Each structure stands twice: as C-alpha cells, then as structure tokens.
C-alpha cells in the first residue's frame, strides 16, 4: 500500500495518509497528486487497502461521509 508523499501543501506521490483515531486505532484517507484522481478512485483505493490490512491481521471499515471516504482501522480480534 503506497504512502502519500507531500512537499509543503503539494502531494507529490498519491497514497494513504494514516492518522491516530480512537485508542489503539487509526483513520486512513487517500490523497492524490493533482490530476491523478478518477471519480471513484478514493473508494477503490481504500477498498484495496481494506484487503491488504485484513491480510495483515487488522480490521478496517470503509466510511462514506458526503464526498469523503475513509477507513477506521483497529487491531484484529483473535479468531
């Protein structure tokens, strides 16, 4: 899963942005270089991140808030 790279306010490489969320969890959004975002790309890229995080033992839920999309991620539960 690529990680977003930023120089100042300019995104120089599209990818995931991970921020702390509730205790033990994280919020993941996807940022794009100018001109590189398809209309549905945010949801598609975050969907791929859900699969990658799941295979690494994390639980991730995709949320839709207006035009924004993000994941809430937490350590997986023992199964």
Name the residue ranges covered by the structural domains of the chain. Answer: 5-75
Q: What pLDDT digit, counting tens, does each position of 2-58 carry?
A: 889 999 989 999 888 999 988 889 999 888 888 776 656 678 888 889 999 999 999
- The larger pLDDT score, comparing residue 54 to residue 65, is at 54
60 falls in which pLDDT band (50, 70, 90)? Answer: very high
Q: Which helix (H) or strand (E) holds 28?
A: strand 26-31
72 falls in which pLDDT band (50, 70, 90)? Answer: very high
In whole angstroms, give the CA distance from residue 26 to residue 50: 13
Residue 40 pLDDT: 63
Q: Which helix (H) or strand (E) holds 42?
A: helix 41-55
């Amino acid at each position: 899963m690529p990680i977003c790279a930023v120089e100042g306010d300019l995104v120089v490489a599209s990818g995931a942005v991970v921020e702390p969320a509730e205790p033990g969890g994280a919020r993941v959004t996807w940022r794009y270089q100018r001109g590189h975002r398809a209309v549905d790309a945010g949801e598609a890229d975050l969907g791929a991140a859900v699969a990658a995080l799941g295979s690494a033992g994390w639980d991730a839920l995709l949320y839709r808030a207006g035009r924004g999309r993000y994941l809430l991620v937490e350590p997986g539960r023992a199964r």
